[in-house]
Amino acid sequence: MIQLRLKSECDRNLAPFVTRIAEGEPKCEEDATLTSSEAGVLGYRNSLTRFRLRDVAPAEIAGDVLLIDPRRQIAHRLIRATSPHNTFLVTERCDQLCLMCSQPPKPQHQDMFAHFLAAARLAPPGAQIGLSGGEPLLHKDALFAFIDAVFATRDDLSFHILTNGQHFERDDLAWLRKHRTRLLWGVPIYSDDPATHDEIVGKSGAFAQLAPNLALLGLAGAALELRTVVLAQNALYLPRLADFITRHLPFAATWAIMQMERIGYGRMNWTRCFFDSSIDFASLGAAIDLMRARRQGVTLYNFPLCTVPPAYRDLAARSISDWKQKYLPACRACSLRASCAGFFEWYREEDGFMEIRPQ
C-alpha cells in the first residue's frame, strides 16, 4: 500500500505550507531541492524553510506536491507526479448516509481550499484532479471559487468531481456551462425506484431531488458520469436502471457500474450488501447489453477480471487507486494481471468473491 502521509521534520512554529519536490533546478519559490540524504532521512530546502522527510527515497517523491503540517510533523502527498489517481478531500461532511460509504461523514469541516489552490497550481501539465468528500457541494460557493481560481492560471487542468447531485440549482447553469469541457461530474444513481435509491443513500426524498438536478446537468451540457455500486439491494434490477438511463439520461457520458469497497460503512454492512458478481453476472450482463444496444457508454469499476465473463472484460477498467490496490497470491500466475484492477487493500478472501481463478 502506497503511503500518502510521510513523517516530516521542520520548524513547528511555521504555518502549514505547500511545496513541490523539485526535479532538477527549482522552477518557482515553492520548489524544494534536496540538500542531504542519510540514514533514511532526506533534507530539503525551499524559499521558506528547511524540512526533512523520513523513510522515502528521493525518486519516489520527485515532482510530488506536498502539504507540510509542522505542528503534526506530517507531509501529505496531495499530488503524486507519476500517478493518475490524485484526489483532494474537500470535506468530510455529507447529507447522505450511504449503506456502502467508504468515507463515512463527520460533522466537522476544515477549509483546505487555499492549500488545494496552491497544490493545483503546481500540478503536472494536463493533470486531472479528483475532488471528493463527503459532499463537496455543501461548500458550493467556495468550491466554485476555487475552480475558477485554478482555471485562471492553469488552463491545462481538469477536475473529476464526485457529488451526490443534491445541491445544483438553476442559478448554477451559467457557471456549469462555462466550465463544461473541463469538469467531469460523477453522480450516483442506485435504482430507478425512488424508494430503493433513498434506502441505499439513507435520505428520504433524495431521488426526487436528484432527478431534476441530473436534467439540469444535461441542460448545461456538463460531462456526466453516472455511478452505481452493485449491492444485494439493487443488483437484480440493474436492467431496469439501464432502461431508465437510456430513456431519461441519454446525455450521460458513461455509466460506471462499481463493486463495493470493504471499508467504512461498506465494511459494517458487507454481509447484507455485497453482491458476488463472480457467481451471478446475469443482471449485470443484461444491463450492459441494453446499454450497448442503445449505444450508451458503460464501464465496470473495481471488478477483478476473473469475476467478469470474457465478453464484458473490455469494459473493466483499472479503476482502483494505486495507493489502495493489491493482488492476491493467486494473481501471481494470472496472464491478465497487468490489465486487471486487482483488489482493494482491505478486501478479504474469506467473505469476498467465491470464484477467483487465474486466467
User: Rounded to whole angstroms, how far apart are CA atoms 3 and 323?
Assistant: 7
Three cell numbers, residue 265: 460503512
User: Rounded to whole angstroms, how far apart are CA atoms 113 and 194?
Assistant: 34
Q: In Å, how far from its chain's centre is CA 295?
A: 26
- Which residue's entry shows cell 444485494? 232
Torsion angles phi and psi, residue 200, rounded to 5: -70, -40
Q: Which residues is 226 bridged to in the sheet?
A: 187, 255
User: Rounded to whole angstroms, how far apart are CA atoms 227 and 241?
Assistant: 11
Of 305, 311, 289, the closest CA to residue 238 belongs to: 289
| DSSP secondary structure of 169-234 | -GGGHHHHHHTTTTEEEEEE---SSHHHHHHHHT-TTHHHHHHHHHHHHHHHT-EEEEEEE--TTT
- Which residue's entry shows cell 505550507? 17
pLDDT 10s digit of each residue in the chain, 359 long?
788 999 999 999 999 999 999 998 999 999 999 999 988 899 999 999 999 999 999 999 999 999 999 999 999 999 999 999 999 999 999 999 999 999 999 999 999 999 999 999 999 999 999 999 999 999 999 999 999 999 999 999 999 999 999 999 999 999 999 999 999 999 999 999 999 999 999 999 999 999 999 999 999 999 999 999 999 999 999 999 999 999 999 999 999 999 999 999 999 999 999 999 999 999 999 999 999 999 999 999 999 999 999 999 999 999 999 999 999 999 999 999 999 999 999 999 999 999 998 88
DSSP 262: S
Question: What torsion do the CA atoms of 249, 151, 127, 326 make, to the nearest 10 degrees?
Answer: -60
3-state secondary structure of 194: helix
Residue ranges per domain, the chain?
A: 5-79, 87-351
Three cell numbers, residue 302: 473495481
Domain at 87-351, CATH homologous superfamily: Aldolase class I (3.20.20.70)
